[in-house]
Structure 1
Amino acid sequence: MKKLILLSLALCLMITVSGQTPETGKLIDNYLAQLALEKNFSGGLLIVQDGRKVFSKGYGWADREKKVPFTPGTLASMGSITKAFTAAAIMKLVEQNKITTGDPLKKFFPAVPADKADITLHQLLTHSSGFHEFLNEDGGDYAKIGTEEFLKRAFEEPLAFKPGEKAVYTNVGMSILGIVIEQVSGLDYEKYLKINLFDPIGIKKIGYHYPVLPGDTIAVGYQNGNRWGTLQEHFGQAGGGPYWNLKANGGLEASLDDMFLWINAFTDYTILDQQTIQKMFSPLVQEEGYNGNSWFGYGCNISRSRRNTKMIDNGGSNGIYFARLIRLPQEGVVFYMVTNESSISTNKVLPNVTQLWFTGIISQDALTMQPKFENPLSKRIYDLLEKPSAADLASELAKERITVDDDMVLLEVGQALMQENKPEKALLLYQYYTQSFPNIVVAWNDLGDIYLALNNKDEARRCYQQALKIRPENPRAKESLNRLQNEINIWNEFLDLVKTGRLTKDKVKPLAELGDSFTPILIGFMDSIRSQAAPEDWTTLPEIIKVDNRIQFIVPWSTRYQKVNYCFSFVLENSQWYFQHLEAIFIRLDKLPLLPVSDFPDVSEQQKAWAREETYWSFIVLNMFLPIKEKLGKEYALNLLRDGMGYFVGAKTWVPFVPPHKAFILYLCWEQANLRGNSVTLEILTDTRAVIQLEVQFLYLYFNAGHLKPKISFEDYKQIFETIWQDRAKNAGWDLDINYTSDNKVVFSFNRYSN
């Protein structure tokens, strides 16, 4: 687990709010609800003021597929906040007079080598032992490494620095403390926590393998919207666990409800004495690289808040789940936030929440402002990369005489650039990162993701393979390689059909000649595929998207007048591929954000959609409808524009939380409003009837663009629009009547028909 903290649908649940004022809680709730709606925020927030639970609420889904909401009772991974529990367990053993923090490792492990024999528990607790962050080539969080093997490898590897010389974050040292807990107590780590720390204060479920009661939920992790799974699933895939790469340093799961009990135990002194807690929360050893602004206590960081008050800080993430626990003793308030979606950074949301709590406004929006780095060196590197002339980070660092010996500095900058969607800058960072620290798995995985974002799949594959070489059981690299291989399999299947002549014009909807303007595009595409399919060492792989039985090939296509990516959509039915639809690609099945549930606001101000609509409708009219109508007749040309089941498949896929026929209506509203820039009002939606009013740019285009009106009659132009939508409605189980108002609005009236 890393110390660095990396940030749909809002489903409002039960909430208790009092805070500094009732309005404060409402401000925070409204803010998080809006984030859930617009940014896919998913997780929970707990605020404790003077021992009282003043805010406790979940947002979004704990499990999207099963439609399980995130609630205050949802269990989610806290990452490296686990270290606070390990530190508390060690201090409990101290209070039980079984150990002291001055005890050296040789007291517990007679075989420890001389260079590590005198490392004390105090040094392990304060990250000043000299152990590296991870074991070299450790195999990842879920690798099957037992106690004996873990200690053997930890003791054999050289230290990063002399014990006590400085303090640099380490997971290895904290796991060794977990082994000490087991050896001294005679209990499993988790069992010791339960008996000595959890049971006395009524905590039932914090742990790795707690007994899950009926109705409990475990938050599923999502990586950029894709299901990653739960820790328990990954334990199972690894053949058990947790093992010592994770155990005692990360991965404990907890709910907001149980974290409330844990937080109050440190102000009520119910599991540890006041003197013990004061020592744990004291700045004991200065953290390297932070100019005296960050100190390690026992299982926590000590720094100053923006109000210059003491802040006791814990954070954790495995790159999927993100959690942060902040105690502000002078203000008497504690914040705990956890999320289960990798694209949502707790570190960016919680600063805004605290601003609302203390001032009622967000004066410095952490979601949009330049990232605030913990380490000053991170800020310097970020600024170097922001220079327009920056082309090689190693050269830029050499000019400034900057030496980087802590990979966490690079990780902090790299992940900030990725969250800001700056892949070119991030590429420079991670190229240097992987050259300077070639054994850091997360760096290779991140670099692979960046190459994917830049559509360089060969380099992405190389990076994931390198990550897997370092950690053979690395799930992130495995999953990424599997996705790439799946694309290759789809592509090879398609190539085989083309190469053997089984995908030809007779397979093309509507099974006849298409017309002079359209045929060269499709057949030319197929011919280019044939040329790629001939040699065994084909190199071109277009972007491939598969949702249900619909497959999109995204390919560049240049003509004399335009350069645009086209989307060739095929439907797979009974092992046969049929061409379904071609359009200039504006909508990708895998890039649609999660949809709102109820409110479809007027978004007609999005005039930037104008250029997109103009290209789309111009292509349909000038390149498809008119040439085909001239050669084969109007009905044939209109038939070509029908989508079949394609649009309905998309609706069912992206709005899975309502019946399919209603999903079609909601998807239509969302897609037209947010992708097409139209104004959409959903007036009625029942099981048998729906009414939508649209102010559509397609009508405005006809009367104002100038180049369409002389080419096509308004009746034909409208009929194109009506044919497309009536066919889509029919496939979704609706009859559709289309009417036009005097002010050029369109009214869709849907009625369910009987089969």
Structure 2
Amino acid sequence: MPQFTDSLFTFFLAGCVLIAGCDSEANRSSSLPANADLDDVRAVAIADIHQTLDQLETDGLYGVARLTYGDTVIIHQALGFRDREARAPMEVTTGFDIGSITKVMTAATVLKLEEQGQLWLSDPISRFFPDAPYPLREATVAQLIEHRAGLPEYLGDDYERVTKEQALDRLFEVDLQFEPGSDEAYSNAGYTLLAAIVEEVSGQPFEQTLREAVLLPATPRIGYRLAEWESGDLAVGYVQNQNQGTPLDKPWLDDGPSWTLRGNGGLLATTEDVAHWFDAMFEGQILDPDALNKFKALFTASGPYGIRVGEAGGDDATGFNAQHEAWPEVGITWTFITSRASYPAEENWPDVQDSITRLLEVASRTSP
């Protein structure tokens, strides 16, 4: 299955990479002189981002960008078309497939269940599926979250109609890439298994538990079926200039996407939804302090501007790509979601990176 980047760029899982790069300007202190006019620097940085977005739109990018500074939304800009053939412009309220950012929310659901005493990260898979084969049965929940269980990257095409039972059959028949815990390899399949574990523990559908446990405290609009999105509310994806339809135009199952995608991708949301979810997480509205610390250990790193989170995901089969960068301690977030494979959000991060670094420096100097 061809993929652009069905990936989760996190500090814990990926180290020095595009979004969470260790050599990233936004991860280093700015070289602003001590006597710089901070109001002027801020204004120029914001103007530069506007100019960059305008140029990207002229070049042909379709998407929505959202930037906060000091917890105030200073840019929320729709670019290009939601549906080019219908000449329907993109709107800031347009929904998208947010790709592998879904995985962060799945992991948060598991942490919530641990907080509630329903499972433990140290639990082996055999606790939930006694018939799971060796050595997969000995892999732990934590190893699934950390991509260290040895499972392959994919179970099949994202839009092949695969039920949970069929997915479990495939999971329990695959040859592991390595002994659980002995190595690390990115695995969508591992997050499919996490979604199945959530169902075993909660006794209800994965999306229902996801929604109740970690989505509703932030926003009711992130979801598969339960968020009640309609195709006309979503962006059309474009690959090689060809209309791929909206996510809801794909062959989903009655209760959501195929179990090749469930838990590892495919959640629908706006830029505002994604930003609100991460804000709620770091404000302590979703997990208790101990669980939140575990979340931070998985999905954040520390830098000159405090905690930083960098997440992205998408693929070239549908055209969608989502990126979220945040520095919660200074109130700066950048959320960018696109719907044209030729212009994926995360590849445009270098275009705004220097300007956001300037904003981080100004915010760090002026915050209480």
TM-score, length-scaled by structure 1: 0.41
Q: Retained in 1: the 8 A contact 2:305–2:327?
A: no
Structure 2 residue 320 is matched with structure 1 residue 267: no
Quote the offset at 1:51 in angstroms.
3.5
1:281 is paired with a residue of what secondary structure?
Answer: helix
Q: Does 1:149 align with 2:166?
A: yes
Match of residue 242 from structure 1: 257
Secondary structure of the 1:260 match is helix
Residues 308 and 218 from structure 1, CA distance in 2 versus in 1: closer, same or farther, beyond 3 angstroms?
Answer: same
Q: Do 2:95 and 2:234's aligned partners in 1 also have CA atoms closer than 8 Å?
A: yes
1:408-557 → structure 2 map (5 Å cutoff): none
Amino acid at match of 2:238: Y
Matched with 1:205 is 221
Alignment gaps of 5+ in structure 1:
7-17, 283-296, 361-755
State how far apart, in whole Å, the 2-side matches of 1:194 and 1:180 are.
16
Larger Rg: 1
1:452 is matched with none
Question: Cα offset for 1:22?
Answer: 3.9
Q: Distance in 2 between matches of 1:239 and 1:181?
A: 19
In the alignment, the residues of structure 1 paired with residue 289 and residue 76 of structure 2 have an alpha-carbon distance, to the nearest angstrom, of 27
Q: Does 1:312 align with 2:312?
A: no
User: Which residue pairs with 2:29 in the alignment?
Assistant: none
**Residues 385-428 of structure 1, C-alpha deviations (whole Å, 9 max, x = no match):** xxxxxxxxxxxxxxxxxxxxxxxxxxxxxxxxxxxxxxxxxxxx
Shift of 1:4: 7.3
CA contact (8 A) 1:48 1:260 kept: no
CA RMSD of aligned residues (A): 2.7
Within the alignment, does 1:85 sit opposite 2:105 as a pair? Answer: yes
How far residue 206 of structure 1 moved from its aligned partner, in angstroms, is 1.0
1:558-577 correspondence to structure 2 within 5 Å: none
Task: Give 1:36's aligned amino acid.
Answer: E
- Counterparts of 2:209 and 2:235 in 1: how far apart (Å)? 25
Conservation of the 8 A alpha-carbon contact between 1:20 and 1:357: no
Contact 1:323 1:337 in 2 (8 A): yes
**Contact preservation (8 Å) 1:102, 1:120:** yes
Q: Is the Cα contact below 8 Å between 2:162 and 2:258 reproduced in 1?
A: yes
Q: Distance in 2 between matches of 1:106 and 1:87?
A: 19
- The structure, 1 or 2, with the larger RCO (C-alpha pairs under 8 Å, 6+ apart) is 2
Partner Cα distance (1:312, 1:19) in 2: 27
Please list the CA deviations of residues 348-386 of structure 1 after superposition, one character each: whole Å capped at 9, or x if unmatched: 2122212122238xxxxxxxxxxxxxxxxxxxxxxxxxx
**AA partner of residue 25 (structure 1):** I
1:167 counterpart SS class: coil
Letter in 2 for 1:357: I
Deviations, residues 174-221 of structure 1 (Å, cap 9, x unaligned):
1100011111112211112222222233x1221122454799620000
Question: Deviation at 1:25?
Answer: 2.5
Select 2:42's aligned residue among 13, 21, 24. Answer: 21
* Secondary structure of 2:180 counterpart: coil
Contact 2:95–2:269 under 8 Å retained in 1? yes
Aligned to 2:241: 225
Q: Does 1:177 align with 2:197?
A: no
Question: Aligned with 1:235: secondary structure?
Answer: coil
Q: 1:342 and 1:330 mapped to 2: Cα distance?
A: 33
**Conserved? CA contact 2:231–2:248, under 8 Å:** no
**Residue 333 of structure 1, CA deviation:** 2.2
1:209 is paired with a residue whose SS is: coil
Instruction: Specify the SS of the correspondent of 1:110.
Output: coil
The reply to whether residue 325 of structure 1 matches residue 328 of structure 2 is no
- How many Å apart are 1:124 and its aligned residue? 0.5
Cα distance in 2 for partners of 1:35, 1:351 equals 13
**SS of structure 1 residue aligned to 2:7:** coil
Q: Residues 67 and 76 of structure 2 are in contact (CA less than 8 Å); yes or no, is this contact kept in structure 1? A: yes
Quick check: 1:118 aligned with 2:138?
Answer: yes
- Cα distance, 1:332 vs. partner? 4.0
**1:127 and 2:179 equivalent?**
no
Shift of 1:171: 0.5
**Distance 1:53-1:276 versus aligned 2 partners, 3 A rule:** farther
Instruction: Return the letter of the residue paired with 1:57.
Output: Q
1:583 corresponds to:
none
Instruction: Provide the residue aligned with 2:334 in structure 1.
Output: 335
Amino acid at match of 2:114: V
> Does the 8 Å CA contact 2:65/2:337 hold for their aligned counterparts?
yes
1:445-469 CA-to-partner distances (Å, cap 9, x unmatched) read xxxxxxxxxxxxxxxxxxxxxxxxx
**Matched position secondary structure for 1:132:** coil
Alignment partner of 1:3 out of 7, 13, 26: 7
**Quick one: which amino acid aligns to residue 7 of structure 2?**
K
Q: Does structure 2 retain, via aligned residues, the 8 Å contact 1:339–1:346?
A: yes
Q: For residues 279 and 178 of structure 1, what CA distance do their matches in structure 2 show? A: 19
SS in 2 for 1:160: coil
Alpha-carbon distance change, 24 to 308 in structure 1, aligned in 2, over 3 angstroms? closer
Query: Which whole-Å CA distance do the structure 2 matches of 1:96 and 1:4 have between them?
Result: 26
Change (3 A) 1:214 1:344: closer
Aligned to 1:495: none
Which letter maps to 1:179?
A
Q: Are the equivalent residues in 2 in contact too, given 1:19–1:54 (CA < 8 A)?
A: no
Alpha-carbon distance change, 268 to 110 in structure 1, aligned in 2, over 3 angstroms: same
Deviation at 1:43, TM superposition (A): 0.5
Corresponding residue for residue 352 of structure 1: 351
Could you tell me whether the CA contact under 8 Å between 2:301 and 2:308 is conserved in 1? Answer: yes
| Secondary structure at 2:250 match in 1 | helix
1:94 corresponds, among 110, 114, 117, to: 114
| Higher helix proportion | 1
Q: Aligned partners of 1:172, 1:260: CA distance in 2, in Å?
A: 26
1:86 touches 1:174 (CA, 8 Å); kept in 2?
Answer: yes
The offset of 1:244, in angstroms, is 1.1
TM-score normalised by structure 2 residue count:
0.81
In structure 1, distance between residues paired with 2:344 and 2:76: 19
Q: Does the C-alpha gap of structure 1 residues 165 and 211 become closer, same or farther in structure 2, counting only changes over 3 Å? A: closer
**What is the CA–CA distance in structure 2 between the aligned matches of 1:19 and 1:77, rounded to whole Å?**
37
Residue 269 of structure 2 aligns with which residue? Answer: 254
Unmatched 5+ residue regions in structure 2? 10-17, 19-38, 360-368
Give me the whole-angstrom Cα distance separating, in 1, the residues matched to 2:231 and 2:267. Answer: 20
Q: Secondary structure at the match of 2:244?
A: strand
Superposed, 1:721-740 pairs within 5 Å as: none
249, 260, 280: which one aligns with 2:295: 280
CA deviation profile, 1:127-146 (whole Å, cap 9, x unmatched)? 111111113xx3x1111221
Deviation at 1:243, TM superposition (A): 1.6
Q: Which aligned runs of 4 or more in structure 1 are off by greater than 6 angstroms? A: 213-216
Q: How far does residue 308 in structure 1 lie from its aligned partner after superposition?
A: 9.3
- Per the alignment, residue 365 of structure 2 pairs with none
3-state SS of the aligned residue for 2:233?
Answer: coil
How much does 1:347 deviate? 2.4
